[in-house]
Structure 1
Amino acid sequence: MKTFFKDNGLTIVLVTMFLFSVLGMIWSGQAAHNKELAEHGSPALRLLAYMASGNFLSGLFENWESEFLQMTAYVMLTAMLFQRGSAESRDPDNPDRPNDEFPATTRRRNPVFSWLYSYSLGIALALLFIASFVLHWWASLMAANEEALLHGGEVQTLSGYLLDAQLWFESFQNWQSEFMSTAVLVVLSIFLRHKGSPESKPADAANSETGA
């Protein structure tokens, strides 16, 4: 058991922090949403009803969408572009890595599998982004229609809502922060260090050294 926690500690801690944050989001979101409902003379939502509401699901999936977009862009762009001196970049003078290609015999025997597996991380993240965007689109429509019913507005359709400014405002407000934070990490890792982290160059490495 001790070996299991040592070998998987990063995943265990991150999943625990994720679950804690989701619970905090549910607790605080339900309280805030019920306060708004009370101001309009509507009954409060119970826990399960709130978790199934557009208000909660829209907030949940719009954040998942932006995170998966960030990771997709990061994985794909770092395969094509460089930033000299950054721990987050391959060395532009020596970009090739060992074991980054299947043997020629494997590529000839299973060309489709070889290609798909070679790019499987980026593909998987891109599919997760698309799935979370669709879920955000659907949940944001739910939230907009719940709000419309609360205020006597017009209910929208799924196809019509795709062109609604509210959907894209929710997406872009998250996308911009993801791209900004990734760019900050790429640039700061040129000059700053965090001893022991694979996201940082060694503490004594030169600023010009590229890659961790």
Structure 2
Amino acid sequence: MLKPTKHSEPSTDARPNRNWLKDHGLLLANAGLFVAFLGGMIISGAKTYSEEQQTHGGSPVGILEYITTGDFVEAVFENWESEFLQMAMYVVLTVFLFQRGSSESKPVDKAAPQDEDPRDAGKSAKTPWPVRRGGWVLKIYEHSLSALLGILFLASFTLHAIGGTSAYNEEQLSHGQATVSVWEYLGSSQFWFESFQNWQSEFLAVAVLVGASAYLRERGSPESKPVAEPHYETGA
């Protein structure tokens, strides 16, 4: 077999040829499913809301009118809130806590690449700019994932409260009762019931994945250990 000449060797600094769809397939698939399911929620939600309005002597609403209602805002952000809380807590907890044998945990008995101090890393043109910049920029960047998820949780939590207040007040008015402020709704059992019923399910799902990944496998998935790897082997 002929050895490639020096001229034919690819440059280590050259950006490799990429198939954009393949490179971003996981993100695109999830974004597409999100749009499809959100659309289904809007269409079915508008129909259900209209039926409820007519039951109480009101008029049906169109899709554009429905997405401005407290009923829609509360339903959407109540769910988003729990998802972002789950992911934010998961990112933070996996910094400090371990689960022996789980593919979702860092190794228990040896150092993990994620713990390396970026200030000690060799820097090149490929190194992310915040790492090359250092200082307060790097300090923010090394915790930017949990920060983003935390901000999205707080934003969803706030919109859940605002939308929930609007939906609650609409129900109160239909029964000739007094309305409440956002702060009053935040202190109600109704708001916390809506939150806790979603939060508990999110952390149950995480606990099942963390525990089951120690003993069960899914060939080809990065969320699973290699099929032949022992149960006690932890991490990727």
TM-score bracket for the superposition, by shorter chain length: over 0.9
Larger radius of gyration: 2
Paired position in structure 2 for 1:163: 187
Matches within 5 A, 1:88-127: 88-97=104-113, 100-104=116-120, 110-127=134-151
Counterpart in the other structure of 1:51? 67
Pick which of 58-67 and 86-95 moved more: 86-95
The one-letter code of the counterpart of 1:46 is G
Amino acid at match of 1:19: V
- In structure 2, distance between residues paired with 1:45 and 1:18: 24
Alpha carbons of 1:98 and 1:34: their partners in 2 closer, same or farther (altered >3 Å)?
closer
> How far does residue 151 in structure 1 lie from its aligned partner after superposition?
1.8
> Which of 149, 169, 180 is residue 173 of structure 2 equivalent to?
149
Q: Is 1:132 paired with 2:156?
A: yes
* 3-state SS in 2 of match to 1:44: coil
Partner of 1:208: 232
> Which amino acid counterpart does residue 102 of structure 1 have in structure 2?
P
Q: TM-score, normalised by structure 2?
A: 0.85
CA-to-partner distance for each residue in 1:22-76, whole Å, 9 max, x for gaps?
A: 0110111111111111111111112111110011110000100000000001100
Which amino acid is 1:114 matched to?
L
Do the aligned residues in 1 keep the contact of 2:119 with 2:134 (CA within 8 Å)? no
User: In the aligned structure 2, how far is the partner of 1:112 from the partner of 1:65?
Assistant: 29
Return closer, same or farther for 1:39/1:77 CA change in 2, 3 Å cut-off.
same
Distance in 1 separating the partners of 2:212 and 2:197:
23
Instruction: Give TM-score scaled by structure 1 length.
Output: 0.94
Q: Which runs of 4+ in 1 moved over 4 A?
A: 104-107
Separation in 2 of the partners of 1:206 and 1:89?
15
Please name the residue that 1:193 is paired with. 217
Equivalent of 1:25 in 26, 41, 60: 41
Matches within 5 A, 1:76-95: 76-95=92-111
Matched residue, 1:175? 199
Deviation of 1:110 (Å): 3.4
Q: What is the CA distance between 1:143 and its match in structure 2?
A: 0.7
Please name the residue that 2:83 is paired with: 67
Q: Give RMSD over aligned pairs.
A: 1.9
Question: Equivalent residue for 2:22?
Answer: 6
Letter of the structure 2 residue corresponding to residue 149 of structure 1: L
Q: Which has the higher helix share?
A: 1
Q: Distance in 1 between matches of 2:188 and 2:65?
A: 26
What is the number of equivalent residue pairs in this alignment? Answer: 211
Say which SS state the counterpart of residue 196 (structure 2) adopts: helix
Which runs of 5 or more residues in structure 1 are unaligned?
A: none
For the residues of structure 2 that align with 1:75 and 1:104, how far apart are their CA atoms?
23
| Residue 98 (structure 1) shift | 6.3
Distance 1:33 1:159, change over 3 A: same
Whole-angstrom CA distance in 1 between matches of 2:67 and 2:199: 24
Seen in structure 2, the aligned counterparts of structure 1 residues 97 and 147 have a Cα distance that, compared at 3 Å, is: same
